């Protein structure tokens, strides 16, 4: 697909999703790309597979998935992040005037922290709606304010070290900041275009591998009749090799 060009900056839409993984293990605490099984952080870094402890993005989409990644996660809730990196090592692997649509998952404690930020946006929107005299339907008002929050800010996802019952681990803290320069302004415009395309059914922010994973999870948790219907879907048949 042709890149999105905005104000002299270019943003690539990959044919296959540009996937990263937030490795929150005690020996990592960084974003990674590619296969790192059997590696520690040092080996992964030497192999060129690490992408730093934070990324700042113009957000395109945030979605929810129920996924299984055995042996550690079975039918668990994940949040799917899609955005255009503007700072951090995901960005610095590109020329200063370009970036690409990228995605990663967060879950558990990291997911809760993002939900807390979104809840703050909702509370602010509700207060503003009442202050302005409740001029329109609240759902419509809240949707408009949410859109403003997404497309007037840069989102930062950063690893934070913690100590638990089993030792050191990491989770992702989500925060926002204002747009700081012309490149970020262009990235946000491109992110809005990607979001609007998705609303029209032009699916940029779709990872088919995760769609199929979720269909399997839903089939396993369904009633017998529902399971038969899901199991007959093309995606499930493809996974099973039928």
Q: Which residue from 171, 173, 179 is spatially nearest to 148, judged by alpha carbons?
A: 179
From CA 173, how far away is CA 114, in angstroms rounded?
7
Structure tokens at 204: 């940029």
Q: What is the pLDDT of residue 222?
A: 53
> Stretch 178-188: mean pLDDT, rounded?
97
Q: Give tens-digit pLDDT for 82-107.
A: 999 999 999 999 999 999 999 999 98
From CA 187, how far away is CA 58, in angstroms rounded?
6
Q: Which residue has better confidence, 46 or 229? A: 46
Q: Which residue from 19, 167, 185, 163 is spatially nearest to 86, judged by alpha carbons?
A: 185
pTM assigned to the model: 0.84
**Residue whose entry in the numeric block shows the structure tokens 């951090």:** 88
38: left (phi over 0), alpha (psi -120 to 50) or beta: left
Residues 6+ apart with CB under 8 A from 4: 10, 11, 13, 190, 193, 194
**Residue whose entry in the numeric block shows the structure tokens 């926002």:** 176
Model confidence band, residue 165 (pLDDT cutoffs 50, 70, 90): confident
């Amino acid at each position: 697909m042709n890149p999105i060009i905005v104000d002299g900056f270019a943003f690539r839409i990959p044919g296959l999703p540009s996937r990263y993984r937030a490795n929150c293990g005690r020996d990592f605490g960084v974003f990674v790309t590619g296969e790192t099984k059997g590696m520690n952080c040092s080996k992964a870094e030497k192999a060129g597979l690490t992408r730093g402890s934070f990324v700042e993005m113009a957000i395109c989409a945030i979605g929810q998935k129920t996924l299984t990644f055995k042996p550690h996660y079975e039918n668990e809730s994940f949040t799917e992040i899609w955005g255009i990196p503007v700072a951090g090592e995901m960005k610095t692997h590109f020329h200063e005037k370009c970036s690409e649509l990228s995605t990663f998952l967060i879950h558990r404690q990291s997911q809760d922290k993002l939900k807390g930020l979104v809840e703050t946006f909702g509370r602010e929107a509700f207060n503003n709606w009442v202050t302005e005299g409740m001029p329109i339907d609240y759902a419509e008002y809240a949707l408009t304010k949410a859109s403003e929050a997404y497309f007037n800010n840069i989102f930062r996802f950063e690893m934070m070290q913690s100590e638990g019952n089993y030792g050191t681990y990491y989770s992702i803290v989500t925060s926002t900041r204002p747009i700081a320069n012309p490149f970020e302004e262009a990235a946000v415009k491109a992110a809005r275009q990607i979001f609007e395309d998705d609303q029209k059914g032009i699916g940029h922010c779709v990872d088919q591998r995760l769609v199929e994973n979720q269909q399997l999870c839903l089939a396993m948790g369904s009633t017998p009749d529902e399971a038969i219907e899901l199991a007959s879907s093309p995606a499930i048949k493809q996974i099973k090799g039928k």
